[in-house]
Amino acid sequence: MAKRRIFTAPSTQVVDIATGQARLEKVDGEPDSYVLHVNGVPSSSITLSDPARLDFEYLDWMARIIDVVTDGSLRAIHLGAAGCALARALDATRPGSRQTAIDIDPILIDHVRQWFDLPRSPALALRAGDAAAEIATFRDDTADVIVRDAFSFDSVPEQLATEEFYADCARVLRPSGLFLANVPDSGDHKVLREEIRAAASAFNHVAAASESGVLKGRRRGNVVIAAAQDPLPDAALDRSLRTAPTMAVWLDEAALLSRIGR
* Tens-level pLDDT at each residue, the chain (262 residues): 344 444 444 467 899 999 999 999 999 889 899 999 999 999 999 999 999 999 999 999 999 999 999 999 999 999 999 999 999 999 999 999 999 999 999 999 999 998 998 999 999 999 999 999 999 999 999 999 999 999 887 889 999 999 999 999 999 999 999 999 999 998 889 999 999 999 999 999 999 999 999 988 888 999 999 999 999 999 999 999 999 999 999 999 888 888 877 6
Residue range(s) defining the domain that contains residue 210: 51-260
Helix H segments across the chain? Answer: 57-69, 85-93, 106-115, 131-135, 163-172, 190-200, 212-215, 234-242, 253-260
- Any domain includes 11: no
- Any domain includes 161: yes
Q: How far apart are CA 155 and CA 143, in angstroms?
A: 26
CATH code for the domain of 238: 3.40.50.150
- Any domain includes 214: yes
- Any domain includes 22: no
Q: Is the peptide bond before 184 cis (omega within 30 degrees of 0)?
A: no
- Any domain includes 17: no
**Cβ neighbours of residue 194 closer than 8 Å, sequence gap 6 or more:** 161
**Cβ neighbours of residue 68 closer than 8 Å, sequence gap 6 or more:** 233, 236, 237, 240
- Any domain includes 239: yes
In the chain, how many domains are there? 1
- Any domain includes 19: no
- Any domain includes 212: yes
**Cβ neighbours of residue 137 closer than 8 Å, sequence gap 6 or more:** none
Q: In what order do the strands lie in the sheet with 41-47?
A: 12-17, 20-26, 33-38, 41-47
